[in-house]
Amino acid sequence: MYIEPRDAFHLPRTARTSNDWPPAALSRALDIVIAALALVFFAPLLVLIAAAIACTDPGPVFFRHRRVGLGGKTFGCWKFRTMVVGAEARLAEILVRDPEAAREWAESQKLTHDPRVTPLGNFLRRSSLDELPQLFNVLVGEMSIVGPRPIVETEAARYGQHFALYCLVRPGITGLWQISGRSDIHYFERVLLDVRYVSSRTVLRDMRIILLTVPSVLAARGSR
């Protein structure tokens, strides 16, 4: 059963804001350096994935979805396209004809067995390679390397009183949610992890999360 975050968790009394620590300039500088180096390192892989998508499924290579960012402003979050063209319309059809799928979507905003995902897209999701284009979001200041899970506007209400805390920082490519099981954890647990991260973030903790992301991605824990 879904539990509202405001009923399940309590915000720490001395929660830090994004302007306390780490200093905004230091955090932003680290984001730029890491994202730039990662883009150079992964450039051949980015080209290879783009070519594979273009050759295996007609349609655009990239997918841009509206997400909520710093200050509650929305931005276009980039990913490699992993679904068939017209996926949104197909989702509406699935939710109408399949009550179980509708229930799962209402609880987690995901489908365990999503028929819209292409075979290549399934591999990209399980390996998290579909998220590599988000490095460009980091470079332009819309995302951070580490931060809360980027959410869509319809999810804001589910954060209850904690949505204001979410808006204090940029969402991240990785975060506590990434190294804690991703889709294997309940939605209200994802909210708790976001609250915990924003309330106690430090540079050292961010570096630890980045290091722990590697084994988590390789093990494909909670990826779907």
Most confident of 51-55, 108-112, 185-189: 51-55
Name the residue range of residue 202's domain.
19-82+117-218
Question: What is the Rg, in whole angstroms, of the alpha carbon atoms belonging to the chain?
Answer: 17
Mean pLDDT computed over every residue of the chain: 84
In a domain, 130, yes or no: yes
d(CA 224, CA 128): 9
Give the C-alpha distances (Å, rounded to integers) separating 143 from 16, 150, 193. 19, 9, 17
In a domain, 131, yes or no: yes
- Mean pLDDT of all residues in 148-174: 92
d(CA 210, CA 198): 16
- Mean pLDDT of all residues in 209-215: 90
Of 82, 111, 84, the closest CA to residue 98 belongs to 111
Give the C-alpha distances (Å, rounded to integers) separating 183 from 140, 198, 220, 224. 27, 20, 11, 7
pLDDT for residue 177 is more than 80: yes
Number of separate domains in the chain: 1
In a domain, 149, yes or no: yes
In a domain, 223, yes or no: no
In a domain, 61, yes or no: yes
Among the residue ranges 10-19, 129-138, 203-212, the one predicted with the least confidence is 10-19
In a domain, 164, yes or no: yes
Tens digit of each residue's pLDDT (9 = 90 or more) over 67-89: 999 999 999 999 999 988 887 88
